[in-house]
Amino acid sequence: MAPLKIGYGLGIGNFTPEKLQYAKSVGITYVEASGMSTFLDGNRNFKLSDEAIVKKLTDAKKAADAAGIKVWSVHMPFGQNIDLSFINEADRQDVVAKHIKLINFLKILEPEVILFHPSYYLGLNERDMRKSQLIKSAIELDEAVRGISATMVIENMLGPELMASNGKERPLMRTVEETQEIFARLPKTIYSAIDMNHIKNPEKLIIAMGDRLKTVHIADGTGAAENHFFPCSGEGKNDWNAILAALDKVGYTGPFMYESAFKDEKDLATCYQTLYNNYSNSK
């Protein structure tokens, strides 16, 4: 497997020429734009005028272009009130409408990928209904995403057990089986994003998704909590040789996109090189 390009998640408010030029100088070629709460609050209200959103995104794109960094993906907003699987149809339609409005602005960044969470925490015994609502939303959003020449992806969520401590059910796509089941019902134009912190043995999900895998979130963890440890910190339990072997097997060519703690951007490429060398030497 040829080495992958390196990327990392960066809040849209941090897209400064200095930050991006430094990232590029230490081996980063891609970013995932996060922090969409800059534009949309937790109650689905836009916080800025259309003009202000356009200016912020245009400035971000200019800074990335000047640094020679490509916006690979955008992490769409999510939360208790921003849930694609809402059972209440008026709420679900409003979530989709707000996402579509944002997607049409995001065209400015020319992203390859638009990433969504499948749901937030769920009430009890409504999982099947939530899956159907998610699929309805995804079909509508896929059209908008393809309209800006990007690919829609949905991310697997943390769910070591069905029930969370808050008395609710864990979000959708919490297991390999559930992720497979939902993807079998989605249009083939919608792809998988795999978060290496959200599931124990992520290599199993990578193999299960196969050529449906489009992008990754790189972090270490235990599959039991939102740790997002730095992969070279020794804090998590992921088997990186198994993960790189799985990425190799399914022919993954996207960026090695970090969504983890780190001290300095220069550590990201160094860490990947270590993981890559370990994997190459293990074969």
Q: Please report the pLDDT score of residue 1 as a whole number.
A: 83
Tell me how far CA of residue 25 lies from CA of 9, 21, 29, 133, 266, in angstroms: 17, 6, 9, 44, 8
Query: Would you give per-residue pLDDT tens digits along the chain (283 residues)?
Result: 899 999 999 999 999 999 999 999 999 999 999 999 999 999 999 999 999 999 999 999 999 999 999 999 999 999 999 999 999 999 999 999 999 999 999 999 999 999 999 999 999 999 999 999 999 999 999 999 999 999 999 999 999 999 999 999 999 999 999 999 999 999 999 999 999 999 999 999 999 999 999 999 999 999 999 999 999 999 999 999 999 999 999 999 999 999 999 999 999 999 999 999 999 999 8
Judge whether 85 and 79 are in contact, CB under 8 Å: no
Q: Determine, yes or no, domain membership for 63.
A: yes
Structure tokens at 230: 């730095």
Q: Please report the pLDDT score of residue 132 as a whole number.
A: 99
Phi-psi sector, 241: left (phi>0), alpha (psi -120 to 50), beta: alpha
Supply the range of the domain harboring residue 262: 6-282
Q: Please report the pLDDT score of residue 216 as a whole number.
A: 99
CATH of the domain at 88: 3.20.20.150
Q: Please report the pLDDT score of residue 283 as a whole number.
A: 86
Q: Determine, yes or no, domain membership for 1.
A: no
Q: Determine, yes or no, domain membership for 248.
A: yes
The Cα diameter of the chain in Å comes to 55
Residues in the chain: 283
Q: Determine, yes or no, domain membership for 201.
A: yes
CA distance 76 to 96: 11
Judge whether 83 and 42 are in contact, CB under 8 Å: no
User: Structurally, how many domains does the chain consist of?
Assistant: 1
Strand boundaries in 188-276, DSSP class E: 191-195, 213-217, 256-258
Q: Determine, yes or no, domain membership for 56.
A: yes
Q: Determine, yes or no, domain membership for 110.
A: yes
Q: Determine, yes or no, domain membership for 95.
A: yes
